[in-house]
Amino acid sequence: MEIFKEYGIEFFARYAHVISGITWIGLLYYFNFVQVPAFAEMEAAARNNAIDKLASRALWWFRWGAVATVVTGLLILGLQRTADGSSQLSSMDYFKSLPGISIATGVLLALTMFVNVWGIIWRNQKIVIANARNVQAGGEADPAAAEAGRRALLASRQNTIFSLPMLVFMVGTSHFPYDVPNATGSHRAIYWLIMLVVWILFELNALGVIGGLKPGGTNIIYDTHKNTLITGFAYAALVIIIYAVVLA
């Protein structure tokens, strides 16, 4: 029974976190690897019907899965204790430790993905869905719908790229071998500098600030889901190497 008394809520938070994370990221992969290529091959009328009936439902689970993932993730951080008994969420010492830096990196990527879901993908998909429903009802096509769809696609592809290194840190935090001393302040500074530069360049590119909205150029990483996957796995490999070489 001790396990339930000591660990009950935290276990529940962790379990709910993984289930909601699967829901969110599973649907992200469905959109990228299944829906986008399928929609590209469909007749306009069939596509509008699928946007109305299928994509709108998938997007509901997707965006609320993202909310549940963030809430339960913050709950785990709030409930887990450091050696001196304080909550990890309020402990600067924790965020200077190797596990703390690992989870902070994962959370940075996940929070960026969350902002992309609600601020870019959902905001633009509302325009796409409204257009599909309007055209089905015999109305005029909205000229803004194509650009809205493109903006959502870039953010969605970027979230797929972010998801691969993000999961390295989510899962790695409890499983990396921490048999080295904690990193010094200057090593932490170098680590965060490299991580933040790469992260902001990716995000600015996804927003169209660097490469615009058109295919090619720096947007080549979003042009096919194969390119997106190669970029994501290369990014995941890079972050593990930087973490290991600079910090551990």
| Interface ranges with ligand HEM (CB under 6 A) | 14, 17-18, 21-22, 24-25, 69-70, 73-74, 76-77, 80, 103, 107, 110-111, 170-171, 173-174
- Shortest Cβ distance from residue 101 to ligand HEM (Å)? 12
Task: Give the whole-angstrom CA distance, residue 14 versus residue 18.
Answer: 6
Q: Are 163 and 113 a contacting pair, CB within 8 Å? A: yes
Residue nearest to ligand HEM (CB): 73
Work out the number of other CB atoms within 10 angstroms of the CB of residue 178. 13
- Shortest Cβ distance from residue 210 to ligand HEM (Å)? 24
Backbone angles phi, psi at 81, to 5 degrees: -105, 150
* Helix (H), strand (E) at residue 248: none
Q: Which is nearer to ligand HEM, 55 or 170 (CB)?
A: 170
Q: DSSP string covering 191-229, please?
A: HHHHHHHHHHHHHHHHTTTTT-SSSSGGGHHHHSHHHHH
What are the residues whose beta carbons fall under 8 Å from the beta carbon of 80, sequence distance 6 or more?
Answer: 10, 87, 88
Q: Which is nearer to ligand HEM, 100 or 211 (CB)?
A: 100
Residue type for position 182: N
- Shortest Cβ distance from residue 220 to ligand HEM (Å)? 26
- Shortest Cβ distance from residue 193 to ligand HEM (Å)? 22
- Shortest Cβ distance from residue 76 to ligand HEM (Å)? 4
Q: Which is nearer to ligand HEM, 22 or 44 (CB)?
A: 22
Task: Give the whole-angstrom CA distance, residue 214 versus residue 207.
Answer: 12
Q: Which is nearer to ligand HEM, 108 or 210 (CB)?
A: 108
Task: Give the whole-angstrom CA distance, residue 247 versus residue 176.
Answer: 12
- Shortest Cβ distance from residue 20 to ligand HEM (Å)? 8
Q: Which is nearer to ligand HEM, 85 or 216 (CB)?
A: 85
Question: Which two tokens mark 139?
Answer: 């109305």
Q: Which is nearer to ligand HEM, 116 or 173 (CB)?
A: 173
